[in-house]
Structure 1
Amino acid sequence: MKTYAYAATFEPTEKEGGFTVTFADVPEAITEGDDMADARAMAADALGVILLTYLEMGRALPEPTAGETMIAPEPEIAMKIAVIETFREAGISRSELARRIGKDEKEARRLLDPDVITKLPMLVSALRAMGKRLVIGLEAA
């Protein structure tokens, strides 16, 4: 099961209680927060933005290495990443994806656009059309 979670390193900042967050596997994702909760939220956001940027640039996502603190993008971003990555791995055209999900090519183009928000049912439908199944998990924050 793929989660798009990457090991994060939290280092205290000069500001009392603040943290800088970096990812060894995703060096472009650097952020900070005023406290641990804020740093974790900012890290999830930064990671999601960079992973989508990698896909937009045609780069493969890095393989995550295990670490003490794993951070994943927000669920809606992780789902968008999953659809785009699965589409690339499937080796099909946008027209073929559109046919499989019963939509026109314009809908498929929006579905694969990292900057366009897509509703959960459409993401699930696209993944299913490409032989994948969305699994939702729960873990402690």
Structure 2
Amino acid sequence: MRYAYPVQLERDEGGHYLATCRDVPEALTDGESQEEALREMGEALGAALAGYVMEGRPIPSPTDAEPGEAIAPVSPLIAAKLALRVAMRAEGVSNSELARRMGSHEGAIRRLIDVDHRSRIEAVHAAIASLGHGLVVEDARPFKPVAA
């Protein structure tokens, strides 16, 4: 899945930009500029999607951006951790089973899937690969709003 979501930006009376996401309504933030609001939205999306995972809810697929919307990506590390959790669920693999497959221990796997832990993306990638899944890195201009 691509962890980049369409975002609506609205300027409030104080001049700040409010960022909301129809696909992940729990994620909302603001910023003094559009760029700042979108950067903050990447973090808000990561936190909201981590909450989905913790609650056992499916991660929503991003819809296409509508005219006037921008795209906000989740940070690469958080996207990788979310992808790992999704792959584990899809393959029916527990933390302890993944640890066994990787020759590691369950605590290391718990840290790999913890979005608040600063893991190395290479380690998350190795865990995903051990499940027969992979990561794709994409270069894009996420902060450019779609033309109205």
Write the mapping of 1:25-104 to structure 2, written as runs, cut at 5 A: 25-67=23-65, 68-104=69-105
Aligned-partner SS, 1:65: coil
Shift of 1:28: 0.8
- Please give the alpha-carbon distance, in whole angstroms, between the structure 2 residues aligned to 1:59 and 1:139: 28
Shift of 1:101: 1.6
**TM-score for both structures, normalised by structure 1:** 0.91
Give the alignment's Cα RMSD to 1 decimal. Answer: 1.4
Q: In the comparison of the two structures, how many residue pairs are matched? A: 139
- Please give the alpha-carbon distance, in whole angstroms, between the structure 2 residues aligned to 1:93 and 1:47: 25
Shift of 1:5: 1.3
Write the mapping of 1:105-124 to structure 2, written as runs, cut at 5 A: 105-124=106-125
- Please give the alpha-carbon distance, in whole angstroms, between the structure 2 residues aligned to 1:113 and 1:29: 19
Contact kept? 1:56, 1:114, Cα under 8 Å = no
Structure 2: unaligned runs, 5 residues or longer: 144-148
Query: Aligned partner of 1:129: which letter?
Result: S
Shift of 1:69: 1.9
- Please give the alpha-carbon distance, in whole angstroms, between the structure 1 residues aligned to 2:71 and 2:88: 25
Contact kept? 2:39, 2:72, Cα under 8 Å = no
Matched, 1:7 2:6: yes
Q: Deviations over 1:84-110 (max 9, x none)?
A: 121112111222101222211221222
Structure 1: unaligned runs, 5 residues or longer: none
Matched, 1:24 2:25: no
Query: Aligned partner of 1:91: which letter?
Result: G
Contact kept? 2:2, 2:62, Cα under 8 Å = no
Matched, 1:130 2:131: yes
Same amino acid, percent of matched pairs: 36
- Please give the alpha-carbon distance, in whole angstroms, between the structure 1 residues aligned to 2:40 and 2:114: 22
Shift of 1:112: 2.3
Larger relative contact order (Cα-Cα within 8 Å, sequence gap ≥ 6)? 2
